[in-house]
Structure 1
Amino acid sequence: MKWFLRLLLWVNGAIVLLTITGYLASYIAPSRIAFPQAVGLFMPWLLLTNLIFTIFWLFLRRRWFWLSFGCLVLGVGQSSRFIGFNFQQESDAQQLGICSFNSQSYNESDHLNGFLAEIHGQHQLDFICLQEITDDHLESLKKTSELQHHYFHRGKAILSKFPIISQGNIQFDQSVNGCIWIDIVYDQKTIRIYNLHLKSNQVTREAETVLDDINTNRAKAFSDMRRMVSNYQKNSVTRKDQVDRILRDIDHVSHPMILAGDFNDTPFSYIYQQISNRLTDQFKKKGLGIGSTYAGALPGLKIDYIFADENFEPLDHSILKTPISDHFPVLSTLKIKN
């Protein structure tokens, strides 16, 4: 029995080291060391494993529980990016509602119209930021959502209740990845809305391949997993460069702003830290429960966000579980501070 407990202790130590590596990912640029970014993919499971070890050692009345417990305490600030304990939700007569949703190549189906019709009246939607969309369905989506103004560019669209006074885009390449923005006037104030879609990791396809092979060809499954982690590390560098371009644009904006979209990266990543240094993650302020926004083969990931600057007061935040995409819609309500 002693040898088994010592083996578990070594495993526990390895889990703690990996978890701390995941914590450090926020502060190490992927262009310097990319491995910590890949650890972020597994942080929900590493945190859960630390919790299980803490309970296990406490049950056995072993002082070793401090190993995982101390690791969890060390990362409380970062864990709150993924786990919300905000039970008080608010509302205000002057609030604005915004939704971000990656519709997973919406041109292949027409589920989004039905979904918008279903939630109409249940949630305030003044802006909808869509990724992986085509312009074929925009008119019907505008009719269903009752948002009559829009800007579309290369697979990204923003639907707005308010007239658009200016618009533009930050295009990274010839793909759907990029960032678009609009300016509107509300309560005599100009507000900028950004909608971004950063470089994808192809996690869904890679993870499904791993799951398919794990029972029939374990060697190939582990090879697939190494490739998935390698791709994530490489794409982390690309996303860092993309975020740098967006932040340079933000530096020139003087009015209130909201940044929403599919970041394709975790709350423990370097790019999350770079953005949260300037803007506030609405989930961290008003989210409740597990913040998973990804419904693909690798569960537990939070990769879709709504950020706002200090001009806004967060009121509510929710993640709607729907099977119409491999992402879940993210909704926030907030108001401009006086």
Structure 2
Amino acid sequence: MKIFRLIVFIAHLGILFLLLATLLNAYIPPKIFPWFNLLSLGFPVLIITYCILTLFWVFSWKKRAFVFMFAGLIFLSPIKRWVNYSTDKRGNPNIKVVSLNTKSGGLGRDKIQSFLQSQNADVILLQEEGKGYDIEGYQKVNPFGGFTVLTRHKIISQKVLRPQDEDLRIPGVQIDIEIKGRVYRFIDVYLHPFRFEKEMVKLNGNSDANEQKVKDVIKKLIPTFKKHQEQIGFLREAVENSPYPVILGGDFNSVPNSYEYYHLSEGLEDAFLSTGKGSATSFHDYKFPIRIDYIFSSKSVRPVSYVVDRSVSLSDHYPVVAEFSVEPK
């Protein structure tokens, strides 16, 4: 039994260090060391295993249980980026934003059109959507293929966040919109996709084939992380140079606790972390909890609610809907 407990203890320490390594994504970019970003993908599995092993020490009446419980408090905020149970926020919402990766309407454009119409949102941010939707009462902006913004309000300006490197995908577009006498900068984000097929990540009984699949997946992940790092620079510039409050949302193709999350959320508020309840999983094509869709806002734009709408299946992403409260002008 002592040998077994020693093995469990070593494994528990190893998982603790791996979890701590995910926190380094706030400081170490993928171009320097991409493996920390890779670890962020496995955060749900790591933290669940960590909690199970902590319970093992609790039921074993070992003092080390308190050490692991105390160390686990470090990960409360990272956990809440995946699963959250916030209290109801006070305030009357006066800006409603919907974000959805439509997958080019492949699962039914009529269904998407009907859903978007029913939301009565102030601003709709769409990704992987070149054609857009003609909704009564909304202006449609397609500043660049793959991005569509719909709004019921006055558009002040629009800009494509275009990298100088032609090989680097455009990460987003910015639209300055006047709502009830105030101007806000909305940034529609779509970071470079990984282009995975289900078969690529589905393991089977063949160990050699599985090993090759893992290697192929990593070969796709690492270069994409590095492209994300470059794309984030253009998005941060749009945020930091904005003379207006910012609402930034879309498909980040990145999980919480990743380099992308830490740096895109810098100085902004995660609407789910502030007001969300339950799971933030937004990508449902794989049987694994994946949150890659977000809505962030400036501190002056206070989140009141955040919902991942699982009542509809419009693409491989669920729509995310956030409401904000701002002081009247």
Q: TM-score, normalised by structure 1?
A: 0.88
- In structure 2, what is the equivalent of residue 319 of structure 1? 308
Alignment counterpart, residue 201 of structure 2, candidates 176, 200, 210? 210
Post-superposition CA distance 1:214-247 (Å, at most 9, x none): 22x2222122123323422221111111011121
Amino acid at match of 1:110: G
- Name the counterpart of 2:130: 134
Query: Residue 194 in 1 paired to residue 187 in 2?
Result: yes
2:297 matched residue in structure 1? 308
Q: Which runs of 5+ in 2 are unaligned?
A: none
For 1:96, the equivalent position in structure 2 comes to 95
Q: Secondary structure at 1:302's aligned position in 2?
A: coil
Aligned partners of 1:13 and 1:67 also within 8 Å: no
Matches within 5 A, 1:74-85: 74-85=74-85
Distance 1:174 1:99, change over 3 A: farther
CA gap of 1:52–1:208, structure 2 versus 1, over 3 A, is farther
Instruction: Tell me the secondary structure at the aligned position of residue 284 of structure 2.
Output: coil
Compute the TM-score of the two structures, normalised by the length of structure 2: 0.90
Long gaps (5+) in structure 1: none
1:174 is displaced (CA, Å) by 6.8
Q: Which residue does the alignment assign to 1:117?
A: 114
> 1:238–1:47: structure 2 CA closer, same or farther, 3 Å change rule?
same
Gap change, CA 1:325 and 1:42, over 3 Å in 2: same
Root mean square deviation of aligned Cα:
2.3
Contact 2:280–2:291 (8 Å) recurs in 1: yes
Q: Is the 8 A contact 1:313 1:337 kept in 2?
A: no
SS in 1 for 2:133: helix
Deviation at 1:326, TM superposition (A): 1.8
Q: 2:107, 2:315 within 8 Å by CA — same for their partners in 1?
A: no
Q: Are residue 147 (structure 1) and residue 138 (structure 2) matched?
A: yes
Specify which of 219, 223, 229 is matched with residue 240 of structure 1: 229
How many residues align? The count is 325
Structure 1 residue matching 2:103: 3-state secondary structure: coil
**Contact persistence 1:149–1:164 (CA under 8 A):** no
Change (3 A) 1:225 1:69: farther
Give the aligned partner of residue 283 of structure 1: 272
Q: Provide the residue aligned with 1:328 in structure 2.
A: 318
Q: How far off is 1:58 after superposition?
A: 1.1
Does the CA contact (< 8 Å) of 2:143 and 2:159 recur in 1?
no
Bigger mean CA deviation after superposition, 229-238 or 65-74 = 65-74
Aligned-residue offset at 1:71: 3.6
Give the one of 229, 251, 260 matched to 1:271.
260
| 2:12 paired with 1:12 | yes
Task: Give deviations 1:40-61, integer Å, cap 9, x for gaps.
Answer: 0010111111111112221222
Shift of 1:87: 2.8
